[in-house]
Chains A and B, each alone.
Chain A
Amino acid sequence: MEAYLREREHKELLRFITCGSVDDGKSTLIGRLLYESGKLFDDQLEALESDSRRIGTQGGELDFALLLDGLSAEREQGITIDVAYRYFSTERRNFIVADTPGHEQYTRNMVTGASTADCALVLVDARKGVVTQTRRHTFIVSALGIRHAAFVVTKLDLVDYEETPFREIERRCREIAAGLGLDVTCIPVSGLRGDNVVERSASMPWYDGPSLMEYLESVEVDGTRMQRKPFRLPVQWVNRPDLDFRGFAGTIASGTVRAGDRVGIYPGGIESSVSRIVTYDGDLDTAVAGQAVTLVLSDEIDVSRGDVIAETGAPPEVADSFEATIVWMDEKPMLRGRTYLMRAGTRTVGATIAPLKYKLNLESLEHVAATHLDLNEIGVCAIELSEPIAFDPYTENRDTGGFILVDRITNQTVGAGLLRFALRRSQNVHWQALDVDKSARAASKQQRPCVLWFTGLSGAGKSTIANLVERRLHTLGCHTYLLDGDNVRHGLNKDLGFTDEDRVENIRRVAEVAKLMVDAGLIVIVAFISPFASERRMARALLAEGEFIEVHVDTPLALAEERDPKGLYRKARAGELKNFTGIDSPYEAPEHPEIRLETAALTAEQSAQAVVEFLESRGMLP
């Protein structure tokens, strides 16, 4: 028994995914693998037999798909919605399989499964041949850094085990994979009948390659690949149980570290050396990629979560502007100019999407011009961060080159990305420190600079009230400037239209201009529809605490439409004006504005008075 356990402990581990189009027989094939590898217990088999009789799709015979489709909705609809992880082992290896869904709307789940896999099985239905999903999934597999792929052609029993359709599919699969740098194998199987799953099939004498199980047991697993790369440890948590101990806990992403090694803390670049490698089981002399350890450094230097401890001889790159490949995973599109939270390694920073270079047409793998990414689309774009991070290109290191994007309002994971390279401009454009600063400029005007950000529907009365506010402030001796939506669109933003991405860019530019004006010491009044909560939050984040005052000009749609001072609602209702806020483009009302003006009950003068009184109460005025 001890010998068995020692052997088991050192068995190789292969993590693989199964993907391909819906109805290609993925779940059936995995179910068959589990069954044939003896992983099913009697009670599970009994449950499977009864389920197969009741809701099976195989006329009462064992329906292996029912083993994997674990959610009620999946079993009822006979489809796979989410990634299912399964575990089995043979004499030679332990396996973790991520069974991923084939429906296009669940591509994000397939990407999730692929992110941790060493190998991919792309299933192709022998009757249908190569379809869009085959290309899409093969591309994702290669983009996520998986190097070994098997095209498993299923349901050979339904084409009478004939060679010709298989060879044709094999030819096309190899064509797809050729440009992607994948090591490829093609295997004809029947998951239902078990042909070429574990044993080579007598029904296909023309096939002389490995069975699926033979492939899985022999495909290259390079368990030391990450150990041979430069040392990286993203700091997860600072362990400080008492005044005498300060350790930096984290999982080694790559390389090897020894006590005494010289290391740098990035992005800062301060150097120190490793004095101890601490674990519960005693200090180590050496630790390698994959181990979760705690490092103690020889100097008292500032290290916190998000920093990367790395070897000084081969340091990570440091930058705040990148080109990245992004897979979009949210129903709401990724918009140029919008700012998301980015998690890279253990660091979280703000990331703004710069113009897209292109998106991929997944049918042809051609580059297509794009202004946004929809759910499940893949594109390449520049991103700009709120502060520099240490990174490696994703192709070098999944852990220091992969990132996720998180929506700042919903907290959902909305995108996954792969860092390609740093953009030069971030290294060459430096912030110029100036001697006269914001407080000096504000002091000479005897006021506290701020932004009054008026948001509301078209026709709500923003410009009218803003104009009144500015007149009153001017009378009080304030230095002001009013940025009006319509006026700015005649100049600075005249290249922008009214699509969602142009609206985001419109607000981004105005927010940046407002920030410069606040820096100049002015009280800035912004009157823009600014329909999206996300961009208003971005504008708020650009300014210091208390400088951003959100004013919601709260007018019911019906009232604004009745006023219709510029005749725009009429045009929008007539279909002559597209993307009109409130009609066919959404308005996300602020949840907690500093000031809410209900214009149904207040005159424009009363509204303006309320704003001025708010500024007085905050001590903003001279």
Chain B
Amino acid sequence: MRALSYLDRLEAEAIDVMREVVAQAERPVLLYSIGKDSSVLLHLARKAFFPGKLPFPLLHVDTTWKFRDMYAFRDEIAGSDDLELLVYINQEGVMQGIGPFSHGSAVHTDVMKTEALKQALDRYGFDAAIGGARRDEERSRAKERIFSFRSKGHRWDPKNQRPELWRLYNARKQQGESMRVFPLSNWTELDVWHYVHREAIPIVPLYFAQERPVVEREGQLILVDDERMPLAPGEQPVMARVRFRTLGCYPLSGAVESDAQTVPEIIREMLTSSVSERQGRVIDRDSEGSMEKKKREGYF
């Protein structure tokens, strides 16, 4: 008799959570952000419902500012015949020309991400949204339930969360209320990479080191990914061997210098790294408790 391995336990828990969503919710959706956590979620969903197709669609809330490599990867995923992928863009935001360079990260994220997400959930009538957030990412996430209740208007009330005991998830709600569900709650960043490696899960090539054109701004290496990137007079992109630990909008994602070209090499770098993965995220540092604030308002 042998105990289940640590990764097997995490995997089983995530599968259990996804099945629970499908059993309890009327119209679930998987929020697909194209990053490694989404790749892992998708892989787990396929395991949970095998041999059937995915019993829910994938939803990509597109800010229109993702890396080109991410769009290519997403379009390839959308071609799989066992799933349906929906893309939602906040058209009002597009018409107002909202973008990270012109309006700053806070406004851009609020309009094109948080607002867009709420619009999409309302538009399609999704009552349970599965996301890849992990408790080890950020302080206020560490307090969140696996099944996280949202009142009408998608608001999170951290002081009034439902007790969550054993594996008994209570997803009951009134019309208009919804759940956010986090099957990877108990995973760490290392676990995600470990699992990507063990299961050979495809991920966006931006995670691997390569010569890329970057400029340095406020201590962050920003990839010059398309012609929308305004360069200051005299500012010249330089080629550097970099990769990304987390992916989002390219103007808001800092690269790290690296030689890691395989997942084990990434893990080796992580083990010797001295900064956390969110460090490359511009939006987290806007203000004290900024993630909690965004989450209360409906951010994922």
Chain A residues with CB under 8 Å of chain B are 1-2, 5, 8-13, 41-44, 67-73, 75, 81-87, 94, 96, 108-109, 111-112, 115-116, 223-224, 227-228, 236-237, 239-241, 245, 247, 249-251, 278-281, 288, 290-292, 294, 305, 329, 341, 343, 346, 398-399, 402-404, 406, 411-413, 416
Tell me which of B57-65, B70-78, B85-93, B169-177 binds A.
B169-177
Contact check: which of A85, A281, A402 meets B185 at CB < 8 Å? A85
> A87-B188, A280-B47, A292-B15 are known contacts. Are A406 and B279 too (CB-CB below 8 A)?
no
Contacting residues of chain B (230-275) with chain A, CB-CB under 8 angstroms: 264-265, 267-268, 273-275
- Nearest CB of B to A488, in Å: 34
- Nearest CB of A to B268, in Å: 6
Task: Please state if A71 and B140 are interface contacts (CB–CB under 8 Å).
Answer: yes
Cα separation A256 to B256 with both chains bound (whole Å): 46
> What residues of chain B lie closer than 8 Å to A416, measured between beta carbons?
163, 165
- Nearest CB of B to A495, in Å: 35
Chain B residues with CB under 8 Å of chain A are 1-9, 11-12, 15-16, 19-20, 22-23, 46-53, 135-136, 138-143, 158-159, 161-168, 170, 172-174, 185-186, 188, 194, 197-198, 264-265, 267-268, 273-276, 279, 288-289, 292-293
- Nearest CB of B to A72, in Å: 4
Contact check: which of B1, B49, B139, B293 meets A70 at CB < 8 Å? B139
- Nearest CB of B to A344, in Å: 8
Contact check: which of A240, A250, A278, A402 meets B166 at CB < 8 Å? A402
- Nearest CB of B to A173, in Å: 26
> What residues of chain B lie closer than 8 Å to A245, measured between beta carbons?
51-52
Contact check: which of A9, A43, A67, A69 meets B198 at CB < 8 Å? A9
> What residues of chain B lie closer than 8 Å to A411, measured between beta carbons?
170, 172-174
Contact check: which of A70, A250, A290, A305 meets B142 at CB < 8 Å? A70
28 A-B pairs within 8 Å (CB atoms) are namely A1-B265, A8-B194, A9-B194, A43-B276, A68-B142, A70-B139, A70-B292, A72-B293, A75-B289, A82-B143, A86-B136, A112-B163, A112-B164, A112-B165, A224-B2, A236-B19, A237-B22, A247-B51, A249-B48, A290-B8, A292-B12, A292-B19, A305-B23, A399-B166, A399-B167, A411-B170, A411-B174, A413-B164
> A82-B158, A228-B1, A241-B52 are known contacts. Are A70 and B8 too (CB-CB below 8 A)?
no
Contact check: which of B141, B162, B289 meets A413 at CB < 8 Å? B162
> What residues of chain B lie closer than 8 Å to A10, measured between beta carbons?
5-6
Task: Please state if A291 and B267 are interface contacts (CB–CB under 8 Å).
Answer: no
> What residues of chain B lie closer than 8 Å to A5, measured between beta carbons?
194, 197-198, 264, 267
Task: Please state if B6 and A9 are interface contacts (CB–CB under 8 Å).
Answer: yes
- Nearest CB of A to B40, in Å: 14
Cα separation A294 to B292 with both chains bound (whole Å): 38
Task: Please state if A278 and B51 are interface contacts (CB–CB under 8 Å).
Answer: yes
Residue of A nearest to B2 (CB): A224
Task: Please state if B143 and A84 are interface contacts (CB–CB under 8 Å).
Answer: yes
Residue of B nearest to A240 (CB): B52
Cα separation A290 to B19 with both chains bound (whole Å): 15
> A42-B275, A86-B136, A236-B19 are known contacts. Are A9 and B5 too (CB-CB below 8 A)?
yes
Cα separation A241 to B23 with both chains bound (whole Å): 15
Contact check: which of B9, B11, B136, B275 meets A87 at CB < 8 Å? B136
- Nearest CB of A to B193, in Å: 10
> What residues of chain B lie closer than 8 Å to A109, measured between beta carbons?
163
> What residues of chain A lie closer than 8 Å to B289, measured between beta carbons?
71-72, 75
- Nearest CB of A to B133, in Å: 12
Cα separation A488 to B287 with both chains bound (whole Å): 63
Task: Please state if A237 and B276 are interface contacts (CB–CB under 8 Å).
Answer: no
> What residues of chain B lie closer than 8 Å to A329, measured between beta carbons?
163
Task: Please state if B165 and A111 are interface contacts (CB–CB under 8 Å).
Answer: yes
> What residues of chain B lie closer than 8 Å to A290, measured between beta carbons?
4, 8-9, 12
Contact check: which of B1, B49, B159, B265 meets A227 at CB < 8 Å? B1
Task: Please state if B186 and A87 are interface contacts (CB–CB under 8 Å).
Answer: yes
Interface centre among B7, B23, B293 (most CB of A within 10 A): B23
Interface centre among B49, B138, B139, B275 (most CB of A within 10 A): B139
> What residues of chain A lie closer than 8 Å to B162, measured between beta carbons?
412-413
- Nearest CB of A to B122, in Å: 20
- Nearest CB of B to A16, in Å: 14
Cα separation A83 to B141 with both chains bound (whole Å): 11
> What residues of chain A lie closer than 8 Å to B168, measured between beta carbons?
343, 402-404
> What residues of chain B lie closer than 8 Å to A73, measured between beta carbons?
158-159
Task: Please state if B170 and A85 are interface contacts (CB–CB under 8 Å).
Answer: no
Residue of A nearest to B174 (CB): A411
- Nearest CB of A to B48, in Å: 7
- Nearest CB of A to B127, in Å: 13
Task: Please state if B23 and A402 are interface contacts (CB–CB under 8 Å).
Answer: no
> What residues of chain A lie closer than 8 Å to B158, measured between beta carbons?
71, 73, 81-82
Task: Please state if A41 and B51 are interface contacts (CB–CB under 8 Å).
Answer: no
A13-B9, A71-B139 given; 18 more Cβ-contact pairs under 8 Å: A5-B194, A5-B267, A85-B142, A85-B185, A86-B136, A86-B142, A87-B135, A116-B165, A224-B2, A249-B49, A251-B12, A279-B50, A290-B8, A329-B163, A343-B168, A412-B162, A413-B163, A413-B164
Interface centre among B50, B165, B268 (most CB of A within 10 A): B165
- Nearest CB of B to A450, in Å: 28
